[in-house]
């Protein structure tokens, strides 16, 4: 009985000491923009978010340690994140980044350029698509938690080729 009481107390104290560590690792990821709507997007040309609107993907590491993040475009239906009035972009790889991995220092901000290239095809005019971005922390040795944010980009292409 005596051993059980101390064993339970030891487990409880160990849990209390471990829990704050997990919360520290879990805190601190923000991404901007959380959502953007692009109107009159041309078909068949490279669309540079920074040149067109001054938009960069910004990754905020609010933790006390540096962190590496992976960046990937994906169809919003994969994460049940399709807004009303929009459909998945036919190919999520049309949205791509200058890099797919970035290190961000403690309490720092990382910036990544974004590009969109919709193939030159008549069927892509007048579309209302959405694409999601997965920004995910890459756990360090001993970290058991990986954080992710999923901002999304709404894309409204030009109505017709004559609008170019």
Q: Two tokens at 15?
A: 């849990």
Q: For 16, list phi and psi in degrees, rounded to 5.
A: -65, -35
Cα 133 from Cα 57, distance rounded (Å): 10
Cα 79–Cα 155–Cα 160 angle in degrees, nearest 5: 140
User: Cα dihedral sign for 145, 146, 147, 152?
Assistant: negative
Contact 129, 155 (CB under 8 A): yes
Cα 149 from Cα 27, distance rounded (Å): 12
Contact 68, 146 (CB under 8 A): no
The CA-to-CA distance between both ends of the chain, in Å, stands at 81
Per-residue pLDDT of the chain (164 residues; tens, 9 = 90+): 444 444 333 333 333 333 333 322 335 899 999 999 999 999 999 999 999 999 999 999 998 999 999 999 999 999 998 999 999 999 999 999 999 999 999 999 999 999 999 999 999 999 999 999 999 999 888 877 888 999 999 999 999 887 55
For residue 12, the model assigns a pLDDT of 35
For residue 58, the model assigns a pLDDT of 96
Q: What is the topology classification, in CATH, of domain 28-163?
A: Immunoglobulin-like (2.60.40)
Q: Two tokens at 135?
A: 């920004």
Domain residue ranges of the chain, discontinuous segments joined by +: 28-163
For residue 27, the model assigns a pLDDT of 55
For residue 19, the model assigns a pLDDT of 33
**Closest-CA residue to 133 (of 115, 151, 148):** 151
Give the up-direction half-sphere exposure of residue 16: CA atoms within 13 A in the CB hemisphere: 6
């Amino acid at each position: 009985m005596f051993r059980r009481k101390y064993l339970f107390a030891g487990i409880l104290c160990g849990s209390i000491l471990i829990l704050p560590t997990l919360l520290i690792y879990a805190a601190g990821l923000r991404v901007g923009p959380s959502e953007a709507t692009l109107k009159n997007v041309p078909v068949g040309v490279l669309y540079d978010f920074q040149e067109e609107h001054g938009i960069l993907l910004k990754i905020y590491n609010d933790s006390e340690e540096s962190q590496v993040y992976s960046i990937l475009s994906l169809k919003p239906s994969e994460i049940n994140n399709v807004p009303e009035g929009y459909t998945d972009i036919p190919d999520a790889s049309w949205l791509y980044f200058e890099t797919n991995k970035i290190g961000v220092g403690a309490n720092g901000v990382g910036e990544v350029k974004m590009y969109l290239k919709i193939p030159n095809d008549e069927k892509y005019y007048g579309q209302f698509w959405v694409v999601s971005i997965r920004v995910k922390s890459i756990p360090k040795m001993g970290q058991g938690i990986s954080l992710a944010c999923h901002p999304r980009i709404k894309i409204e292409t030009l109505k017709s080729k004559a609008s170019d």
